[in-house]
Amino acid sequence: MKNFEVPIIYRSPLISAIKKKRQELDRMKKDFSPTLLDFGSLKIYLARHFGFCYGVENAIEIAFKTVSNNPGKQIYLLSEMIHNPQVNEDLKNHGVQFLQDNYGKQLIPLDNLTSEDIVIIPAFGTTLQQEKKIKEIGIVTEKYNTTCPFVEKVWNRSEQIAKKNYTIVIHGKPNHEETRATFSHAALNAPVVVVSDMFQAKNLAKYILKEKSAADFYAKFDGQYSEGFDPTKDLQRIGVVNQTTMLASDTQAISDFLKQVIIDSTGDTNFADTKDTLCYATNDNQTAVSHMLNSKADLAIVVGGYNSSNTSHLVELCEEKLPTFFIDKEEKIISKDSITHFLLHEKKEITSPFFLTQKDPISILITSGASCPDAIVENVIRKLNLFRNTNKSVDELIEQFV
């Protein structure tokens, strides 16, 4: 796989050594067991796969090269490059301005831009409508388009099944940048509807089976269907694709459920044979967490941006088994007895008691999202080791893996 030029501040000597060693021992990536970091009284189980993925590293490389190669130019990002606060703040500190927030709200009017300016398209991609507006200003986007190739794979798969007269059902978060982009590209070729979860999929089934009226559909799926969508006609042949960062098991369950509904209603030829469209990193990270959770541990820490979809699903997996703390940087570990963390389902940050010295030894599971720099994960490990006051340093562990 290609090696990207990512700022050194995002790299970690410890994590790089661990990942390199694991890759040498397991080139086919069949071993999903975690890596044990044994500090004696502190034992950390590190997920087999975590951190920056191909799409994220590609986006970061393009963004920082764009800044260094274009001194004096106005450089804009359509929205957050990736869902990591440190990376986005670093880009702002380099003079990059954000045109929109995460939900598509305009922060800087496009009228302010000129054909001499640069606009970077983030890893999530963008809508066809937004790209058209930028090109009408005279701005060339191709050179600065960081759309993840696995997102583009979903767009291509949608186009393939659209050409066979299937309606596209997207499993994703309706307001997420990637889902909005996929919706835009899919709607160019076919009717499209978004389902956010199994609850909405079961609601959709009622319109497939014509148990509910079209008027009810428009109310229930407001803002989640393409222009001209007719539930009486457009739900007889469907194919399911997804936002690449959704929970794989959820997407599979929704696809299996809707397939059975279609078979019961109109026959199996009316359900497109789509392969799973999650990206490799999402699959690997989720599988690695599932295997990591087989280790006997006292708690789990998940590191990443609070608005990161792929990270939130790692949190959900960990919460099923263990007390889980979702943090975005090492500073949130305030002391051996206190931690500030994000409550995923309540969407708020709180400070809670921490249990770092209540057991001897204490075992902690750690993973991070695909947009989280390895350096932050190493800093979390160093902070835990510092507060636990073990007899072994992180640098000693690095020597073991080198």
H-helix or E-strand spanning residue 294: none
Helices (H), 127-176: 128-137, 149-162
SS3 36: strand
| CA neighbor of 77 nearest in space, from 14, 17, 134 | 134
Exposed / middle / buried, residue 321 (Cβ in 10 Å: 0-12, 13-18, 19+): middle
Spot the catalytic one: 80, 131, 177, 178: 178
For residues 225 and 169, the answer to whether their CB atoms sit within 8 Å is no
Sign of CA dihedral 361, 34, 46, 8: positive
CA distance 71 to 66: 9
The rounded Cα 103 to chain-centroid distance in angstroms is 15
Helices (H), 128-232: 128-137, 149-162, 177-187, 198-208, 214-220
| CA neighbor of 246 nearest in space, from 370, 95, 163, 103 | 370
β-strand partners of 366: 46, 301
DSSP at 34: P
Q: What share of the chain is helix, strand, coil (3-state, %, to 5)?
A: 45, 15, 40
SS3 142: helix
- Tokens, residue 206: 């009622």
Q: Establish whether 319 is a catalytic residue.
A: no
CA distance 399 to 402: 5
- Tokens, residue 259: 């397939």
Place of tokens 């702002």: 92
Rg of the Cα atoms in the chain: 23
Backbone angles phi and psi of 130, in degrees to 5: -65, -40
User: Catalytic residues, which ones?
Assistant: 178
